[in-house]
Structure 1
Amino acid sequence: MGLAFTGYSQSKITGKIIESDDNTVLEGVEIINLDTQKSTTSKLDGSFEILNEGLYSFNKKGYVVKNLNLIFNQYYIIQLNINPSELNEIIVHANNIPKALKKATASVSIISSKDIKRSNNINFAPILNRAPGVFMQSGALNTNRITIRGIGSRNLFGTSKIRAYFKDIPLTNGSGETNIEDFELASISRFEIIKGPASSIYGAGLGGVIQLKPQNALLNQTHLNTALSIGSFGLIKGVVNINHGSSQNSLRAVYSNTKTDGYRENNAYNRQTFTLNSNHFLNKKNELSFLASYVDLKAFIPSSINETDYLNNPKSVAFTWKQSQGFEDAKRGVFGISWNHDYNSNLKQASSIFTSFKNVYEPRPFNILKENTFAIGMRSRLLGKSKLFSKNLDWTFGGELFRDIYRYKTFENLYQGFPAGTGSVEGNQLSNFKEQRNYYNIFAESNFEASNKTTLSFGLNLNKTTYNLEDNFMASDENPDQSGKFKFKNIVSPKFGVSHLFSKNISVYSSISHGFSPITLNETLLPNGQINTNLKPETGWNVEIGIRGTTLDNRLQFNTSIYRLDIKNLLVSRRTAQDQFIGINAGRTQHDGLELALNYNWLQKESISISSFVNYTSNNFIFKEFTDNTDDFSGNDLTGVPKDIFNAGIDFDSTFGIYGNINYQYVGSMPITDSNSLYSDSYNLTNAKIGYQANINKMLKLNVFFGANNIFDVHYASQILINASGFGGNAPRYFYPGTPVNYFGGINLNYIF
């Protein structure tokens, strides 16, 4: 739909063309008068000017064609939707400088809304695993670990060393830990994943950046969408999605409620989310947007189990977690306001302020944790278009400030002194800490069109990170005062990239980039309570070369790359007790890899389409140098990452309503211990979904579906805990059992007012 402002012109029609997902302005859109066949194109800032009324077609490769009737005396904003079959042509924000994916100088994967809808809309893992080089392990809906090119594999719990943003709001805390799995998938339009430290704009993280793009509301349209899903192990999920767009404002609100008993004991999950995203076009030059997300979660924790239980009783929960009935009760909120201002067609400012909070109550066998985090920050940047040697130069310059205050207390868990099944009982306080974590990034990046076919990219990021720890627990010989400060030295991370169009549809790209990963404050603490100021952050260089494009009459899309990521000051978390770890720098790792993604349209007719995808990841990750105490693991395979990952699938769609897909995944064996004495087994998973959608009338649309995951009931470990230690003579608990065959079905109704 188009957005119209009246009174801007008397004898012509003006407007701007944007992408419906994230309001990116689209240049070079062909605007054709369908009566006269005369055409014009949108300018660099997405603006256009037309002298005649009539029916017009808006056409840009990578986007769905839109036809609109335009009249005098109105200013239009036209939204174009992405065409999932032409992702190489779409405009991406990989480094905040909008450009076509085929001209990007770094490895970028796009996961579209079509990809998100392939599954049962519950779990992030099968969706993110569509991207080569990305591997998400999922021990439970609230227990996950994401790695990109092997980065983050040594983090024992959760995701680390990978940055994530929801629109322009950081989802990564001051210690470099990231949580995205609690967000509602129905509120996300697509993911853009930058692999490796190729993004100066987003902090030059070693693993890369995951950008979550929220669903924007459609202009001049109001509709209500409701969905209900049910499935195995007590799964029930409801989603309500309200979209309202007027002539100058648009708003989308999404509420979801997800409940499941879980496959394992002590595995119940109950989550409610609310997401609000609004856009306000104030005038030709100014736009405001608001984003809010709230999550209320209670999830019980079955934890990992030992090999004997994994093989013989995979439903079981770790004994002490069962006795204490351990769970996570969390409330999280993210809020942000963004302002975009066009000074002129060549200069734009984009600024945002944001805040977030997290409150968690988590009874564990060894203690009860109470924690809360409050964060605030801002990002601002200028985006400009200039000329250098008569060639186009796109550039951006800006900064990001971030501060979070993290308070946490632990208490004795007295569950052992009470009857079995009573659950956790709070005892004496054991600790009381307050962390203040601050960082700033100053960044600059440019794309220089050296020729019509060659683009050069330069980037630089400056980061400063500091921690301040207050120990508010009464100090004693057994509990020394651990208060102190920790400051990183300034870290400068440059990058250089080049892409070259060999033909209209095929390009080659290459880049070299530097990145780093911050140390968590807990890792800096020594057993005597002092802060280890000699600890260094992991840093590394990534070198890669790749080719992407389309061929066979645009039916085949391909993207492949090879890379080497060399990391020094390898950080190792050494466990000193059940809930205590210290960090040490223990050597270097070398990450050599190959990534391949293929998409092929077998049949593309008006009434029916059949397409398939294949992606493959080959990892050769080793400890280049690694000595832990007296053990030398140099030359061993990196722990927690499979050698090979293969995904394939077929999609079917038709105008008579029936659609479906089938997806297959192979995951190779993974080393579980640094000594490589124990590996997990490789496994194969197959998922499928079929549905029917129809227009009941002009205003009501129906969608019913049914699906199955792990169709062949494979026994596998969906997540592993590396280098686990056994306490009290018990066997180490390495394995999180994967869910066996499970089914789901649902109904979706969309009412257009």
Structure 2
Amino acid sequence: MKALYVLTIALLLCSAAYTQTIIKGKITDQQSGEVLPGATIANGKTVITASDKGEFEIRLTDDGTSLAVSYAGYETKVITVPANTGFVVIGMNSSNINLSTVVVTGYENNRRLLETAGAIGVLKASQLQRGDNRDIMAAMNTVPGVKMEAYSTGNYRIAIRGSLLNNPWGIRNVRVYWNDLPLSSPDGTTQKSIDFDPALIGSVEVLKGPSGSMYGAGNGGVLLIRNTKAGADENSLETGYTAGSYGYSRFEASYKTSGENFNIAANVVSQRYDGYRENNWGNKDVINLFSQFKTSEKRTLNLFVTHVTGSLGIAGALNAFQADSMPRQAGQYNKDNKTSVKKYDATAFGVSQTYRFSSHFTNTTGVYGNFQTYDHPFGTGIYYNGYLKESLTGYGGRTRFVYAPVLGSISSRFSIGGEYQYQHQFGNTFTVINDEAGSWPETGDLYQNDIVVSKSAMLFAQAEFDLPRSFFLTLGASYTNLSYDILDMLKTAGHVDYSGLLQFPDKISPRIGLVKTIGKNLAVHGSISSGYSPPPVWEINNYDGTLNKDIQPEGGVNYEIGFRGNMLNSKLNLDVTAYQMNLKNAIVPVAQANGTTAYKNAGATNQKGIEAAVSYLLLSDREQLVSLLKPWISYTFNDYRFRDYKTQSYDDGSSSVITVDNSGKKVTGVVPNSVAAGVDLDTRPGIYLNTTFYYYDKVPLNDANTYYADAYALLNLKIGYRKTFNRIGLDLSCGVNNVTDTQYSSLLLYNADATAYGAPPQFYNPSPGINYYGGARLKYSFK
């Protein structure tokens, strides 16, 4: 009997063991794919940690039991694992940038940020979606050294370590890459090929300062944007709706799926905004598709397609009295003539392939194309106005070979490649006819009709060496050729044909960087880099129809040194950089008669600055009521001065040009001190809170430094509830922007006094007062 009892117990134990399921898997960063060693995996009371390779093995007691995965600096993830799952890859979303583990692609090195020389800001999806999701402007302005502004939703300008003095609209002097393919124009400007929508973007890397050794022309910097994509082994459908003040509404939907050899993400966005000011609307509809296929062990293919169509109103600038007393009004001319981009359409696509010849030798090659059209009545008054109808077609490609041998005891990496861009820009500018104030204007007489073909070709090479004693050396250089070919097709009587080829001098841009790591978590770095910024097409086309053939690119040399890393068990992250850039041949606007503007090379600037970002992970424990508590702050100090800087303005009274020497003055449009700070909080029940505070110092509005915009501070709050119920994820949120109802103008029109003709200068484009929003997101996981 005793033997039978023992046998029965043994059989029951064997049966229980047999019914248990063993799950094997790997924990990775959802965006980069990097493994997360030491991640915690919990199943009921069973808790294990992932190996140094991020792998784990855990025994489940019931079919369909969930796994809770947590890792310091990442959002806790709960997934349901079916009993027949053999191996699962779990992607984690970062809630904290850990400088010891985050991998960056900047400078084409694909290594830890800790081992990279250069000032690089990193924004993950969770940071990009910290606000109302209208755009990424609020997130971009948390990166030290970056200032992103909007005339209206969909019409942006960005400064990275620089002035917006000669950047009245659009994005100039900043190179933009989408999934490793260049989508800036050859002249360094960025149109609407890619919409800066947080639903489409998985991550942004901001390379500050000249990066010409790998990315071509531009003293400002580079934006490396990556498409949002599906997490590991994901199959989900998500939809969301947000509504807010001033007629803001937004619908978005996405489908994401992935497997061992593929990753597909499709996104749709429809957004409407009436605008804070009169004639200040912004509407858009976007569709985006990203796919990645691993066709073999050696070959990976990537494809993306984005189309956006929309319209936006331009309210125009106000003088100080108007901005203070009636900030929501539009400029009278803008209101009467509905100045706007009445309609824009932009399509961009790209295909790339990465082929691994061996473990030491790879090639990545991609091609892209974009098509854009604009219907754009513009102007500020009777002396400056027009109706532009324009179409742009561009294409190009980029290839890079990487060879990574081990030279004795030194690991090395050699990169060589090239990039080619072509853009055909066909523009017709007409006079404006409008018989009824407030109605849509019509086109009048044609006064400018041209085709501008811009081409750029670049060759680049880089060598990296992992030296003894934890030194990392990078040497790189590029060769760039740039030209604008202009065909003037206007055939009116008395018009002088200004067709011609503008060939800029070929440019070699070298860079050297050195990093010394201190232990596993700290590093110091320094670099010297050279760059140049060509004049965009709009700066060579004078308003009177003549061609500005004498203008030359700006040139700059940048010196910087920095310190980054984490301490206190990876809870404290800090990144500090000091730099000085000497800019020559600075391009400045020259005010002329009747309110028109031309551009010329007129001097130089000395640009010194300090950028610092600090965050502290006070709490990160999914078992606690407050599962995440992270305060953070970024600070930017700028001391930019004109050197040998002379400007010209037109005096209407004497009908003459006046030259003024502004050497030693502060550079127009550069904020001396700015701060962004906040607190991110998550709780075990699912309630979360994001607070963001901004402070901007007073800024000079003109070259003579006789006008300044006042300093201002902003506070934004967002609170929400996020929970997963089996396969359904729910996210409810609401928020307040500009809690204190501060009256301010983020976007300013510099040197407006030069064309005021005795009237109060119109510097200001008032930004929204206090505004509210609320939304809901629903996600269904098929797995």
After TM superposition, the score normalised by the length of structure 2 is 0.87
The residue aligned with 1:624 is 643
Q: Name the residue aligned to 2:11.
A: none
- Say yes or no: does 1:707 pair with 2:729: no
Q: For 2:98, what is the secondary structure of its paired residue?
A: helix
Cα deviation digits, residues 457-504 of structure 1 (max 9, x gap): 111011110110001111532x21111100111100000011101222
Other-structure match for 2:704: 675
Equivalent pair of 1:195/1:208 in contact (CA under 8 Å): yes
Determine which of 732, 745, 750 is the counterpart of 2:774: 745
What letter matches 2:329 in structure 1? Answer: S
For residues 162-311 of structure 1, what are the structure 2 equivalents within 5 Å? 162-179=174-191, 182-198=195-211, 200-311=213-324
3-state SS, counterpart of residue 308 of structure 1:
helix
Residues 622 and 638 of structure 1 are in contact (CA less than 8 Å); yes or no, is this contact kept in structure 2?
A: yes
302 and 53 in structure 1: CA distance in 2 versus 1, 3 angstrom threshold: closer
Instruction: Tell me if structure 2 keeps the 8 A contact 1:31–1:41.
Output: no
Q: Aligned in 2, Cα 1:80/1:751: closer, same or farther, shift over 3 Å?
A: closer
Q: Which amino acid aligns with 1:250?
A: N
> Shift of residue 729 of structure 1?
6.3
Residue 385 of structure 1 is matched in structure 2 by 404
Helix, strand or coil for the counterpart of 1:155? Answer: coil
Distance 1:313 1:694 in 2: 43
Per the alignment, in what secondary structure is the counterpart of residue 159 of structure 1? coil
SS in 1 for 2:333: helix
Structure 1 counterpart SS, 2:324: helix
Does structure 1 residue 374 correspond to structure 2 residue 393? yes
Aligned match of 2:331: 318
Partners of 2:302 and 2:155 lie apart in 1 by 32
In the aligned structure 2, how far is the partner of 1:266 from the partner of 1:166?
31
Mean CA deviation greater in 87-96 or 637-646: 87-96
Equivalent residue for 1:10? none
Q: Which moved more, 1:197-206 or 1:649-658?
A: 197-206
Show the counterpart of 2:160. Answer: 148
Mapped partners of 1:701, 1:73: distance in 2 = 22
| Structure-2 separation of matches of 1:618 and 1:40 | 42
- C-alpha displacement of 1:585: 0.8
CA drift at 1:573: 2.2
Asked if 1:474 is matched to 2:491, the reply is yes
- What is the deviation of 1:95? 1.0
How far apart are residue 41 of structure 1 and its match?
Answer: 6.2
1:292-348 per-position Cα deviation (integer Å, ceiling 9, x unaligned): 111111111112112221111111101111111122111111100110111111111
**2:40–2:71 Cα contact (<8 Å) kept:** no
Asked if the contact 1:87–1:110 (Cα under 8 Å) also holds between the matched residues in 2, the reply is no
CA distance in 1, matches of 2:729, 2:69: 26
Comparing 336-345 with 418-427, which one deviates more in the overlay?
A: 418-427
* Displacement of 1:168: 1.6
CA pair 225-142 structure 1, distance change in 2 beyond 3 A: same
CA distance in 2 between counterparts of 1:578 and 1:610 reads 56
Q: Does the Cα contact within 8 Å between 1:134 and 1:146 map onto a contact in 2?
A: yes
1: CA distance, partners of 2:360 / 2:163: 38
Distance in 1, Cα, partners of 2:188 & 2:564: 31
Q: Give 3-state SS (helix, strand or coil) of 1:311's partner.
A: helix
Contact between 1:292 and 1:333, CA under 8 Å: does it hold in 2? Answer: yes
Q: Write the distance in 2 (CA, Å) between the matches of 1:704 and 1:583.
A: 50
Where do 1:121-132 residues align within 5 Å?
121-132=133-144
Deviations, residues 26-84 of structure 1 (Å, cap 9, x unaligned)? 4896899999x999866xxx9x9x9x999999999987899999999999988565463
| Aligned pairs (5 A) from 1:541-580 | 541-576=557-592, 580=596
SS of equivalent residue, structure 1 residue 473 = coil
3-state DSSP class of the match of 2:703? coil
**Could you say which residue in structure 2 is the equivalent of 1:540?**
556
TM superposition shift of 1:151: 4.6
TM-superposed CA distance for 1:150, in Å, is 1.4
Q: Is the 8 A contact 1:29 1:58 kept in 2?
A: no
Which residue in 2 is equivalent to 1:5? none
Partner amino acid, structure 1, of 2:608: D
Task: Label 1:86 to 1:571 Cα distance change in 2 as closer, same or farther (>3 A).
Answer: same
- Contact 1:152–1:162 (CA under 8 A) maintained in structure 2: no
Instruction: Verify the 8 A CA contact 1:559 1:596 in the aligned structure 2.
Output: yes
**Amino acid across the alignment from 1:547:** F
Over aligned residues, Cα RMSD in angstroms? Answer: 3.2
Task: Answer whether contact 2:583 2:606 (CA < 8 A) is retained.
Answer: yes
**Larger radius of gyration between Structure 1 and Structure 2:** 2
CA contact (8 A) 1:62 1:89 kept: no
Supply the AA of the counterpart residue of 1:708. Answer: V
Q: Distance in 2 between matches of 1:201 and 1:718?
A: 32
Distance 1:27 1:491, change over 3 A: farther
Specify the code of the residue in structure 2 equivalent to 1:683: Y
Identity of aligned residues (%): 28
Alpha-carbon distance in 2 for matches of 1:632, 1:165: 38
- Identify the range of structure 1 (69-78 vs 675-684) with the bigger mean alpha-carbon deviation: 69-78
Contact 2:27–2:50 at 8 Å: present in 1 too?
no
- Give secondary structure in 1 for the equivalent of 2:335: helix
Partner residue, 2:419: 400
Q: Distance in 2 between matches of 1:711 and 1:75?
A: 48
Say whether the 8 Å CA contact 1:539–1:567 is kept in structure 2: yes
- Aligned equivalent of 2:721, options 678, 687, 692: 692
Alignment of 1:340-379 (within 5 A): 340-365=354-379, 366-379=385-398
| Cα distance in structure 1, aligned partners of 2:527 and 2:475 | 10
Which letter does structure 1 place at the counterpart of 2:680? D
Corresponding residue to 1:664 among 683, 687, 693: 693
Taking a change above 3 Å as real, the CA distance of residues 425 and 292 of structure 1, as seen in their structure-2 partners, is same
| Worse-superposed segment, 405-414 or 239-248 | 239-248
Deviation (angstroms), 1:523 = 2.3
Q: Which amino acid aligns with 1:713?
A: D
Q: Aligned with 2:214: secondary structure?
A: coil
Give TM-score scaled by structure 1 length: 0.90
Residues 161 and 517 in structure 1, CA contact (< 8 A), matched pair in contact too: yes
CA distance in 2, matches of 1:312, 1:711: 20
Q: Which deviates more, 335-344 or 158-167?
A: 158-167
Distance 1:167 1:17, change over 3 A: farther
Summarize the Cα distance change of 1:14–1:668 in structure 2 as closer, same or farther, 3 Å threshold: same
Structure-2 residue corresponding to 1:502: 518
One-letter identity of the residue aligned with 1:634: S
My pick for the range that moved more, 180-189 or 532-541, is 180-189
**Equivalent position of 1:8 in the other structure:** none
Contact 1:649-1:663 at 8 Å conserved across structures: yes
| Structure 2 Cα separation of the partners of residues 428 and 728 of structure 1 | 28
Which deviates more, 297-306 or 728-737?
A: 728-737
- State the distance in 1 between where 2:81 and 2:437 align: 71
Alignment partner of 1:421: what SS?
coil
Shift in Å at residue 554 of structure 1? 1.5
Structure 2 unpaired stretches of 5+: 1-22, 61-66, 380-384, 649-658
Structure 2 residue 678 is the aligned partner of structure 1 residue 653: no
Structure-2 residue corresponding to 1:112: 124
Question: Secondary structure at the residue paired with 1:119?
Answer: coil
* Residue 17 (structure 2) aligns with: none
Amino acid at match of 1:360: Y
Q: Deviations over 1:633-675 (max 9, x none)?
A: 0000000111110111011101201100111110011111101
Query: Which residue in 2 is equivalent to 1:411?
Result: 430
Q: Quickly say closer, same or farther: Cα 1:648–1:15, change in 2 above 3 A.
A: closer
Question: Do the aligned partners of residues 31 and 552 (structure 1) sit closer, same or farther apart at CA in structure 2, a change above 3 Å counting?
Answer: closer
Count of residue pairs brought into register by the alignment = 729
* Equivalent residues of 1:337, 1:354 under 8 A apart: yes
Q: Please tell me whether the aligned partners of residues 205 and 224 of structure 2 are also in contact (alpha carbons under 8 angstroms).
A: yes
Deviation at 1:249?
Answer: 2.3
Counterpart in 2 of 1:161? Answer: 173
SS at match of 2:708: coil
Shift of 1:506: 1.0
Is the Cα contact below 8 Å between 2:147 and 2:159 reproduced in 1?
yes
